[in-house]
């Protein structure tokens, strides 16, 4: 019996009927491109959130988090708005989003157990939303296309939590493929292809330990900046509808029509879309050095253009450039804190992680978490 099933049975005195699991994700290349209908290269990680539940009578739901022992309950008729500092918001938000689609679920006893680091930039919230959604799907036979489950999770963030995020996190948690990066198109909302990382290389996450709570960050402001730039560019270039349709050459030609800030934000997104495609081509030609260079360029663009980096993230990338074994590195996810990803030679990875942690500790007096990641499959659920 798995640990979560055992603990559930001990707590509620009966067995759960379903177990789901949804992974965290890493954004490999393609920063802030998803809500501009652009491309992203991402993967699901081995770290995941498990969700088990058993339906019950009435309208009251009970949830337990076996990571810290916390327990929260809520009434199905009193979940219209999020409550401050309540991790079940991500579960209640899923129920609310399903209701908007005409789908009702019943009361349940549930529990979660997760290995996805919290508020780090590995999408712990998307993992929880998708784990909850997939468990509900099994128990209440909900028939939604897979991409719509990503939209349900995005709806939780956009409407329930107030973060105007794109689809990347939930989409990667659903569609991730073991040992593969996925190239996603957020216009058609589909996986274009799976792209293998060459043998002998691994991805490591180094957490800057600056908590990134994107709701309180400038994430939403950046999205507005992109919209302002888009409005001007689509007027100039009929046929274009989002930044994804604009090339660097077109952006340069229109520079005078944008404010400096709009230009910079657009330059980041347009550059990222181009880098994603160049990165995929590089991997397909086994040109890992070019791929690594693109990761460093992406980070530099975050510094110069999108201004979503921090001194801690920048220092990790500076260290990455000076240590042996690193092919490329960049901030990953929304930014404003959280994690960096590092593409490493597998045989140098352990020593590299040790050295970068030491270097960071010397400067900031903080021990950064380092995780050498497995690339895992997307979410799943099954009846027990
Ligand atoms: C966060 C958001 C995503 C995406 C990234 C930046 O992870 O949730 O939708 O916008 O930031 O690429």
Rounded to whole angstroms, the Cα distance separating 227 from 269 reads 11
Which atom of ligand 1 lies nearest, measured to the CA of 167? 9
Rounded to whole angstroms, the Cα distance separating 252 from 273 reads 16
- For residue 334, the model assigns a pLDDT of 94
DSSP labels, 191-260: EEEEEEPPTTEEEEEEE------GGGTTHHHHHHHHHHHHHHHHHHSTT--SGGG--HHHHHHTGGGS-H
pLDDT in tens, 311-324: 999 999 999 999 99
Pocket test for ligand 1, best of 163, 165, 276 (most atoms within 8 A of CB): 165
Q: Which CATH number fits domain 2-195+376-383: 3.30.230.10, 3.90.800.10, 3.30.300.130, 3.40.50.1100?
A: 3.30.230.10
Any ligand 1 atom below 6 A from CB of 34: yes
Distance of CA 34 from the midpoint of ligand 1 (Å)? 7
Any ligand 1 atom below 6 A from CB of 168: yes
Domain 197-373 has CATH 1.20.58.100: no
What mean pLDDT do residues 220-224 have?
A: 96
- For residue 118, the model assigns a pLDDT of 84
- Band of the pLDDT at 1, cuts 50, 70, 90? confident
> pTM, whole model, 2 decimals?
0.97
Cβ contacts of 224 within 8 Å, gap of 6 or more:
none
Indicate if the pLDDT at residue 215 is higher than 90. Answer: no
* DSSP character at residue 333: S
pLDDT in tens, 324-337: 999 999 999 999 99
Copy the structure tokens of residue 18.
Answer: 């379903």
Indicate if the pLDDT at residue 104 is higher than 90. Answer: yes
Copy the structure tokens of residue 296.
Answer: 């460093």
What is the CB-side half-sphere exposure of residue 341 using CA atoms within 13 A?
Answer: 28
Q: How many CB atoms lie within 10 A of CB 198?
A: 10
> Cα–Cα–Cα angle for 66, 69, 71, nearest 5°?
100
The residue extents of the domains of the chain are 2-195+376-383, 197-373
Copy the structure tokens of residue 9.
Answer: 């049975």
Beta strands in the chain (DSSP E): 18-29, 39-55, 60-65, 70-75, 108-114, 180-185, 190-196, 201-207, 326-331, 339-345, 370-373, 375-376, 380-383
pLDDT in tens, 17-47: 999 999 999 999 999 999 999 999 999 999 9
Which whole-number Å values give the CA distances from 69 to 8, 66, 111, in the listed order? Answer: 12, 5, 10
216 is catalytic: no
pLDDT in tens, 274-290: 999 999 999 999 999 99
* DSSP character at residue 374: P
Which whole-number Å values give the CA distances from 157 to 194, 306, 336, in the listed order? Answer: 27, 22, 17
Q: Active-site residue among 34, 169, 225, 245?
A: 169
């Amino acid at each position: 019996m798995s640990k979560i099933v055992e603990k559930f049975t001990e707590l509620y005195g009966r067995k759960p009927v379903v177990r789901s699991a949804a992974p965290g994700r890493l954004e490999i290349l393609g920063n802030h491109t998803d809500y501009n209908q652009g491309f992203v290269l991402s993967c699901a990680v081995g770290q995941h959130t498990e969700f088990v539940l058993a339906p019950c009578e009435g309208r009251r739901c009970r949830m337990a988090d076996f990571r810290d022992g916390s327990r929260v309950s809520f009434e199905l008729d009193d979940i219209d708005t999020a409550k401050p500092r309540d991790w079940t918001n991500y579960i209640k938000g899923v129920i609310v989003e399903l209701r908007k689609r005409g789908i009702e679920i019943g009361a349940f006893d549930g529990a979660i157990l997760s290995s996805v680091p919290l508020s780090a930039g590995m999408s712990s919230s998307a993992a929880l939303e998708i784990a909850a959604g997939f468990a509900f799907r099994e128990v209440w036979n909900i028939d939604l296309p897979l991409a719509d489950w990503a939209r349900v999770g995005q709806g939780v963030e956009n409407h329930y939590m107030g973060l105007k995020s794109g689809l990347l996190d939930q989409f990667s948690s659903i569609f991730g493929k073991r040992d593969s990066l996925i190239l996603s198109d957020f216009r058609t909302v589909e996986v274009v292809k799976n792209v293998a990382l060459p043998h002998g290389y691994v991805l490591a996450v180094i957490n800057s330990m600056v908590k990134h709570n994107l709701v309180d960050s400038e994430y939403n402001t950046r999205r507005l900046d992109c919209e302002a730039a888009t409005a001007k560019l689509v007027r100039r270039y009929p046929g274009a509808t989002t930044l994804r349709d604009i090339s660097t050459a077109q952006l340069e030609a229109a520079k005078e029509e944008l404010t400096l800030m709009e230009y910079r934000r657009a330059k980041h997104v347009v550059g990222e879309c181009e880098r994603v495609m160049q990165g995929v081509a590089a991997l397909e030609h086994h040109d890992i050095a070019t791929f690594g260079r693109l990761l460093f360029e992406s980070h530099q663009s975050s510094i110069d253009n999108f201004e979503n980096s921090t001194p801690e993230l920048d220092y990790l990338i500076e260290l990455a450039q000076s240590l042996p074994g690193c092919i490329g590195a960049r901030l990953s996810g929304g930014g404003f804190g959280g994690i960096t990803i590092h593409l490493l030679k597998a045989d140098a990875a352990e020593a590299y992680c040790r050295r970068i942690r030491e270097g960071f500790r010397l400067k900031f007096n903080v021990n950064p978490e380092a995780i050498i990641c497995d690339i895992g499959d997307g979410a799943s659920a099954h009846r027990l």
